Amino acid sequence: MFSLAFSPCPNDTFIFDALINKKIDTKGLDFEVHLEDVQTLNQWALQEQHDFTKISYGVLPLVLNNYKVLESGGALGKGVGPLLITNSELGSTNYEVQNKKYEVQSTKYEVRGTKYDNGANNKLQTPNEQQETRNSKQQTPNNKPQTTNEQNKIVAIPGENTTAHLLFSLAYPNAKNKVFMPFHEIEDFVLNNENALGVIIHENRFTYQEKGLYLVKDLGTYWEETFNLPIPLGAIVAHNRIQKEMSLLVDELIRESIDYAFKHYPFVSDYVKQHAQEMEEEVMRKHIDLYVNNFSLALGSAGKKSVLKLLEIYQQQHPTCQIISNEIFINN
């Protein structure tokens, strides 16, 4: 029996339902299933806990010594990236906070605030926007030295070793005041802290506006416009302790499981509903439509190119990290 870990989100349960509930021929294989949030899955991968597991591509560089990426089961695509949100319709231009401690309910995370400036200059800027600002300043006489403001924001991010964090850091490299928490707690954190921003993922991108939150920047669109590649969000990886032939078989079974699910779609199985908490069925389908696609069936050359680009960026941000390109994918 192999251990298999993935998230309870509809895209993952949709992908694995037929496999773990034996709706397809599993070739005699059985799986011990573990469902957890993405940051916990990343931590488990760092600890080498499971034979097959879902991870964020953001943590992939740290586990490549022990895992290889399978061809199927992952999440890539266009228009699927994380969103940076705020609780103010004015965006990130009007934040002010006193010296106080911010605590996230029911977690151990906290941020200690300092004094924050408000006004239009308090806006998070991407590198391109920073260059435009510098150019405009050069055209204005008697400019005084300006400092960046990204460090003046509390930014809630769904896990340190996540793709969401990597994409945020790519767009806002000077942002320093970050707090990491489970993705489902970020909206409440932003709502309850006047100066906070949040990076949201999964089904929250469909519901944040209903809670009175506003979009600052689509981090996925930023990636797509910068590199013209699909966004690599999550992968299924196999531990190197598993024989390659067996990992390839599991890879094929995951693909068959997805095929089965698509053949019965838009029907949403009880297994998907069971783990979707109180999510409406329409939101489940939106989630599946967005995150399960041809890249889930097979990475292909475009998907692999996107993964390699993400690893290249990670290596630029972490120069001591050594990545060997021919040891990343199971089917090299």
| Range list of H helices, 90-201 | 127-138, 163-171, 186-192
CA nearest 148: which of 117, 180, 193? 117
16-21-23 Cα angle (round to 5): 90
Q: What is the CA radius of gyration of the chain?
A: 21
**Residue 257 in contact with residue 24, Cβ under 8 Å?**
yes
> Catalytic site residues?
202
CA nearest 51: which of 28, 67, 71, 75? 67
Which amino acid, residue 142? N
How many C-beta atoms surround the C-beta of residue 128 within 10 A?
A: 12
Per-residue CA distances from 237 to 67, 90, 135, 222, 267 (Å): 6, 41, 45, 26, 28
The residues, ordered by sequence, that sit 6+ positions from 293 with a Cβ below 8 Å of its Cβ are 76, 77
**Residue 255 in contact with residue 72, Cβ under 8 Å?**
yes
Using N-to-C axis directions, what is the helix angle for 244-263 and 10-20, rounded to 10°? 110
CA nearest 232: which of 145, 94, 329? 329
- Coil, strand or helix: which one is 108? coil
CA nearest 212: which of 94, 89, 92, 81? 89
**Exposure pattern of 82-118 as b/e (b: 16+ CB <10 Å)?**
bbbbbbbeebbebbebeeeebebeeeebebebeebee
